[in-house]
Amino acid sequence: MLLWLSIAFARAAEGGTGHEMLEREPLVIGTMTAQIERSLGMRIVSGEFSPGDALPIESELCEIYGVSRTTVREAVKGLAAKRLLEVSPKVGTRVLPFADWNLLDRDVLAWRLHAQFDRKIVEDIFEMRLCFEPRAAALAARDGTAEDHALIARHCADLEAAYAERLPDRVASEAALQFHLAVVNASRNGLFVTIGSAIKSALRVSSEMLQRQAARPAEDIDLHARVAEAILARQQLPAAAAMEALLLAWRQRLEPLTVGQAPPPDAAGRGRRGRRL
């Protein structure tokens, strides 16, 4: 049973995309139901099962994974809740179109980042960040408390210290991640906070990649420092402009590290039906 799961995880993470260099957020192994849900989910988002494809019937999944019908049903139910699958007595269990997927679900986002770190995902992430993080910085300048501002300053100092002391890349990336989350939290906008929490996996992956390719640490520190200084000075427009400049610089540095454009999920593997694991 565990061998089958290990093979499924490995196959879902492979695909010859050349992005094995990425050190993504670990997919923590949970219950057996969670493991099966994760295995099937990663194979769906990677395109191995395309929209419209039918999953193997319940009894086959039970045999493959060596688990009970209840466990399989709960895993499928979880994927249906994420809008990856549709379960119908007439048509069975089929993969839904990409447009129906809950792309802000933490698991779906993490699975996509593990399965295919392509240019389109990076563009989508940064377009969304550019829509709300500059505004979050402006709100943090206007509405953030003294405690909020102190936390932003601390994470900015942590990032500078990580560079100065040549600490491991993960330390610097975590400081950068916490800086951005602190800015979003300081906005006091509940929806922004929810979005920031939802895309935490994406923020961590991009931050780690950038820190590992940080050829100009001084520039990185300066970009973050400008955001922090404007927020602490309660200058809304400069804070927004500084955050936009930071995100644009990050996107420009990260895009060359991607693996190119992946085919749209709805176009990949059309015509396949009932694919076995």
Residue 245 confidence (pLDDT): 97
CATH number of 2-109: 1.10.10.10
Mean pLDDT check: name the lowest of 43-57, 143-157, 201-215, 216-230: 201-215
Mean pLDDT check: name the lowest of 72-81, 116-125, 176-185: 116-125
Closest CA to 135 of 252, 205, 207, 227: 227
Q: Cα–Cα distances in Å, from 117 out to 122, 171, 201? A: 8, 22, 13
**84/93 Cα distance (integer angstroms):** 10
For residue 75, pLDDT beyond 90: yes
Mean pLDDT check: name the lowest of 16-25, 220-229, 263-272: 16-25
**122/166 Cα distance (integer angstroms):** 27
Tell me, rounded to whole angstroms, the distance of Cα 116 from its chain centroid. 11
Mean pLDDT check: name the lowest of 43-52, 128-137, 194-203: 194-203
Do the Cβ atoms of 172 and 211 come closer than 8 Å? yes
Three-state SS for 92?
strand
**241/3 Cα distance (integer angstroms):** 51
Segments making up each domain of the chain, as ranges: 2-109, 118-257
Mean pLDDT check: name the lowest of 86-95, 131-140, 236-245, 268-277: 268-277
160 or 14: whose pLDDT is higher?
160
Q: What is the pTM of this model?
A: 0.70
Write down the architecture of domain 118-257 according to CATH. Up-down Bundle (1.20)
Mean pLDDT check: name the lowest of 63-67, 260-264, 266-270: 266-270
pLDDT averaged over every residue in the chain: 82
Quick one: average pLDDT of 236-245? 98
Q: Which amino acid, one-letter code, is at 108? A: V
250 or 142: whose pLDDT is higher?
142
With both helix axes pointing from N to C terminus, report the angle between 200-212 and 106-115 in degrees, rounded to the nearest 10: 30
For residue 164, pLDDT beyond 80: yes
